Amino acid sequence: MAELCWPSNTELNEMREKVSEMANVKKEEVRVVVSPYRICPLGAHIDHQGGTVLAMTIDKGILLGFTPSRSNECVLRSGQFQGEVKFRVDEIQRPWQTTKTKHDNSAENSSEAREQCNWGRYARGAVYALQSRGHNISKGIIGYIRGSEGLDSSGLSSSAAVGVAYLLALEHANDLEISPTENIEYDRLIENEYLGLKNGIMDQSAILLSFHGCLMCMNCKTKEYKLIHRPKVQEYKEGEQPKATKMLLALSGLKQALTTNPGYNKRVAECKEAARILLEASGNYKAEPILSNVAPEVYEAHKCKLEPDHAKRAEHYFSENMRVMKGIEAWETGSLEDFGILIAASGRSSIQNYECGSEPLIQLYEILLRAPGVLGARFSGAGFRGCCIALVEEALATEAASFVRKEYLKVQPELASHISRDTAVLVCGSGDCARVI
């Protein structure tokens, strides 16, 4: 198995030097949280319905250098955003949506409100989550945070990676022993309650539970998970060779934030309404209206009762859940061509049935499918912005990346011109779980 190449010693030293200067401490006293970005090859848009998802982390993500402060104050700086965030961890944190509404009609917004509208809200959200579960947070942190150089992380769940990073840093500073499964719940509190985003738990789970070279398979209804390994070389049949693969990240240049786009939450509501109709049609009025509570045979018997939009959302859910089951088998047996076909089918269903994606993302998806060595592609993340991912043969990865860059520039010259050529299409490897170094 290939060794992890991220973060490099150079990156770790840079983070330690930044915090050492900020806090006036020795470099040896600085810890670094490594919180990777995640991709979801299969299981698109079904985590919030209790479906089963397949995810993995990549060798790119968030680094948070930190040291415990000598007081209850947090002092934070960012490599991507201007300004300095300061707040006390003994302040009672309230959901951002509530605070935002409260200050919307005020002529003079407080510094806290302005700060929360920017990058400081994730650190406050981490304090909110820990406070909500009764943890005594008495020490703040002095920290410096940044994402992978030159990479627009839209569609890679950078928000969950940031939330997890702050949770791990605050817990380390306050000597709290919190399990990965507990931190999945705490990051869900940041996303759902504090920021008001109605997503599921796949992002946090992948970031906290993944293992290098494996797929993380999670049942989002029961929270049960397992790691899916590829076959070892000696387990292949005689004459067969394991295919070395990489992941391509192709950036679209679209950067609209999820929390300001009603499309995501609207589709979650449509899925729940479809579930309610199907459950009631079968005589079940008690179950929570999510599609994982609808048996496949109930869906087949009563799907004719759904109006077109609800029917499409339900069709995506049930077909995607089946693709996940087939994907597990393909990965376990090393049938990566079959795995790629399933990824491409997931992409088509996201466009046709879940109806997410904009013209640039759909064009990028179609270009990836034509690229040399690409076995399958789909949107990454919600599909309203960000990037596409593709499974590609390692030997052809560089050629494929060059092809995608050139073809996307032809169809979207304006968007493509705003993306650095060096990071427009990246070749990535498998990552590991979030951790403190």
Q: Which of 148, 163, 153 is nearest to 194 (CA)?
A: 163
The length of the chain is: 437
Question: Cα torsion at 159, 160, 164, 166 (round to 10°)?
Answer: 20
Helix H or strand E segment including 398: helix 397-411
Strands 245-251 and 387-393: antiparallel
Q: Are 432 and 36 in contact (CB under 8 A)?
A: yes
Closest CA to 268 of 8, 50, 23: 50
The pair of structure tokens assigned to 136 is: 């005594």
The distance from CA 431 to its chain's CA centroid, rounded to whole angstroms, is: 13
**Alpha-carbon span 243 to 265, nearest angstrom:** 39
CA separation for the pair 77, 22 (Å, rounded): 9
HSE, side-chain direction, 13 A CA sphere, residue 196: 14
Dihedral sign from CA coordinates of 261, 263, 267, 270: positive
Q: Is the peptide bond before 95 cis (omega within 30 degrees of 0)?
A: no
Alpha helix (H) residue ranges in 250-372? 262-281, 296-302, 308-333, 336-352, 359-370
Contact 399, 373 (CB under 8 A): yes
Q: Which sequence positions are flagged as catalytic?
A: 203
Sorted by sequence, the CB contacts under 8 Å of residue 310 that are 6+ apart come out as 270, 273, 274, 277
Alpha-helical regions (H) of 133-237: 158-173, 180-188, 202-209
Q: Taking a C-beta distance cutoff of 8 angstroms, is the pair 137, 88 a contact?
A: no
Closest CA to 424 of 260, 176, 304, 248: 248
Q: Give the integer Cα–Cα distance in Å for 35 and 30.
A: 16
What is the radius of gyration, based on Cα positions, of the chain? Answer: 22
The Cα 130–Cα 199 span in angstroms is 19
Q: Cα–chain-centroid distance for residue 232?
A: 28
